[in-house]
């Protein structure tokens, strides 16, 4: 858990599909309310990844408004979350030596999100739209299991809310019904530890900052 990080550059090395199956085999033991097991996963290879990525980028470049199935971030940022968000972005762009006013370079880096950072395997997580917040909590625990299980096989991951910005595009290319809500994507592969983007780590608050003890 301490060593897991969001990896944004991967080696051009294929990941066997049976390894992905083993990861999901372990992850499926995540807890869920009354054992609903709400998680659904699409395993996406290069062909469909390219189609989804290109369609999303075309939508953004043509000014089509995002229409996510849910709100990931607040409409207005407040402290301490505002500063944490700012520090996170600063760490990323500093690692890549991209300055604040270099908007085109920032855009190029952001668009890498939609290509799953060119990882060999992409995952899309989705669930039945009729389910409620508790099932989204269950999905989060399942996703964490996937990330931790991946490390057992020397794979790294990056969970990506950006892939939920245009859920209709994702549904179309994966032939999913409107009744399925797109939660997020995930890049998974062998990390390129020589790449600058994988050299930084974000700060974590100490336990004392988020706990209250009662006798």
pLDDT per position as a tens digit, 160-209 = 999 999 999 999 999 999 999 999 999 999 999 999 999 999 999 999 99
The count of structural domains within the chain is: 1
* 84 is a domain residue: no
* 171 is a domain residue: yes
Query: Residue 173 is part of a domain; what is its CATH number?
Result: 3.40.109.10
Q: Give the Cα separation of 43 and 60 in Å (integer).
A: 24
Q: State pLDDT tens for residues 26-44.
A: 999 999 999 999 999 999 9
Nearest of 127, 141, 146, 155 to residue 23 by alpha carbon: 146
For 207, counting Cβ atoms within 10 Å of its Cβ (0-12 exposed, 13-18 middle, 19+ buried), the class is exposed
* 2 is a domain residue: no
* 191 is a domain residue: yes
Nearest of 178, 158, 161, 160 to residue 169 by alpha carbon: 178
Enter the pTM of the model.
0.96
Q: Give the Cα separation of 186 and 12 in Å (integer).
A: 17
Q: How far is CA 13 from CA 9, 16, 198, in A?
A: 12, 10, 17
* 79 is a domain residue: no
* 12 is a domain residue: no
Domain membership of residue 142 as a residue range: 17-73+115-197
* 30 is a domain residue: yes
* 123 is a domain residue: yes
Nearest of 62, 88, 89 to residue 166 by alpha carbon: 62
């Amino acid at each position: 858990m301490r060593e897991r990080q969001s990896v944004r550059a991967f080696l051009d090395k294929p990941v066997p599909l049976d390894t992905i199956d083993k990861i999901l085999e372990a992850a499926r033991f995540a807890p869920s309310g009354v054992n609903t097991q709400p998680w659904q996963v699409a395993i996406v290879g290069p062909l469909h990844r390219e189609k989804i990525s290109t369609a999303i980028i075309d939508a953004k470049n043509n000014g089509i408004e995002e229409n996510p199935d849910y709100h990931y971030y607040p409409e207005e940022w407040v402290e301490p979350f505002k500063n944490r968000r700012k520090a996170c972005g600063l760490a990323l762009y500093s690692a890549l030596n991209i300055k604040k006013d270099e908007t085109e370079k920032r855009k190029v880096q952001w668009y890498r999100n939609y290509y799953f950072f060119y990882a060999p395997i992409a995952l899309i997580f989705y669930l039945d739209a009729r389910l409620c917040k508790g099932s989204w909590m269950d999905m989060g625990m399942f996703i964490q299991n996937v990330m931790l299980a991946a490390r057992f096989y020397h794979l790294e991951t990056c969970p990506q809310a950006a892939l939920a910005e245009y859920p209709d595009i994702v549904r179309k290319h994966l032939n999913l019904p409107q009744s399925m809500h797109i939660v997020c994507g995930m890049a998974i592969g062998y990390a390129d530890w020589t790449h600058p983007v994988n050299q930084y780590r974000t700060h974590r608050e100490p336990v004392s900052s988020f706990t209250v003890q009662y006798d």
